[in-house]
Amino acid sequence: DAKTTQPNSMESNEEEPVHLPCNHSTISGTDYIHWYRQLPSQGPEYVIHGLTSNVNNRMASLAIAEDRKSSTLILHRATLRDAAVYYCILKCSGGGADGLTFGKGTHLIIQP
Amino acid sequence: DADVTQTPRNRITKTGKRIMLECSQTKGHDRMYWYRQDPGLGLRLIYYSFDVKDINKGEISDGYSVSRQAQAKFSLSLESAIPNQTALYFCATSDSSGRAIYGQFFGPGTRLTVL
């Protein structure tokens, strides 16, 4: 799976939007972009995924650049419960080894 | 009730002991995974199983073995535990109907300490 680059940490205020960036310049045409988050003392939680088009769900939105070399996870109105480590992961849709490759992610801090 | 459960949640053991971590799921997924997480790092894949008869090594399988007793159960064993296997262990499941499309669902984790 191709590599992703994320900032180590970001800070935001409660009830404000948060934009978490991810660079994946070596992405291939068959790679899906997945986002997971891990709250303190919990297992990772699936947030959202996409291929080319922007995606929305009840948790977040995913904005994918036209060249697919970067993406942004958008939390529209952050709450204290959104404080977590956010992982951007590329997952190939083709054959081969399964499983997710986690980097260090972005530690999101929410200030009240 | 949780969809993916892990037992035990915490375990302290001594070097050389055999340890088994168990994972059960009620999601009806065919694929199951074991990951470990060390402090400040992301998860690393130990083993994964596509179904009861298909088990595959992941990135860091040395020192570990697994057993898929049924579609819903996937156990991880440390035959002879060593201190550098001290970590947080996560089980996960996914649906094979779309390999890269659907997400993985994780259990709450087992904190293992090897003295």
Q: Residue A44: closest CA among chain B residues belongs to which residue?
A: B106
Q: Is the pLDDT of residue B99 over 60?
A: no
Note whether A7 contacts B: Cβ–Cβ < 8 A: no
Query: Which tens digits make up the pLDDT trace of B19-30?
Result: 999 999 998 888
Name the band, by pLDDT with cuts 50, 70 and 90, for residue B113.
very high
pLDDT computed for residue B41 by the predictor:
79
Give φ, ψ of B51 to 5 degrees. Answer: -160, -175
Query: Which tens digits make up the pLDDT trace of A49-71?
Result: 999 999 998 889 999 999 999 99
Mutation target for A interface from B25, B35, B36, B43: give the one with most A CBs within 10 A.
B43
Mutation target for B interface from A98, A102, A104, A107: give the one with most B CBs within 10 A.
A98
Q: Are B48 and B56 in contact (CB under 8 A)?
A: yes
CA dihedral for A4, A35, A109, A112, sign (positive or negative)? positive
Region A30-59: mean pLDDT is 91
CB contact under 8 A, B58 and A99: yes
Distance from CA of A16 to the nearest CA of B (A): 27
pLDDT computed for residue A15 by the predictor:
95
Could you give the 3-state DSSP secondary structure of residue B83?
helix
pLDDT computed for residue B47 by the predictor:
95
Region A7-36: mean pLDDT is 94
Q: What's at B40, amino acid-wise?
A: G
Q: For the beta carbon of residue A43, count every other beta carbon within 10 angstroms.
A: 22
Nearest CA to A89 out of A51, A34, A32, A26 is that of: A34
Q: β-strand B4-7 against B105-106: which pairing, if any?
A: unpaired
pLDDT computed for residue A91 by the predictor:
84
Q: For the beta carbon of residue A39, count every other beta carbon within 10 angstroms.
A: 13
Interface of B with A in 3-42 (CB under 8 A): 4, 31, 33, 35, 40-42
Q: Is the pLDDT of residue B59 over 80?
A: yes
Q: How far apart are CA A104 and CA A102, in angstroms?
A: 7
Q: Virtual CA dihedral for B6, A110, A102, B37, nearest 10 degrees?
A: -40
Q: Which residue has the tokens 């947080």?
A: B88
Express as a percent the part of chain B with pLDDT over 70.
Answer: 93
Q: How far apart are CA B86 and CA A67, in angstroms?
A: 42
Region B43-51: mean pLDDT is 92
Q: How far apart are CA A92 and CA A24, in angstroms?
A: 13
Judging contacts by C-beta atoms under 8 Å, the chain B residues touching residue A93 are 99-101
Name the band, by pLDDT with cuts 50, 70 and 90, for residue B97.
low
Q: How far apart are CA B29 and CA B27, in angstroms?
A: 5
CA dihedral for A89, A45, A47, B34, sign (positive or negative)? positive
Beta bridge partners of B111: B10, B88
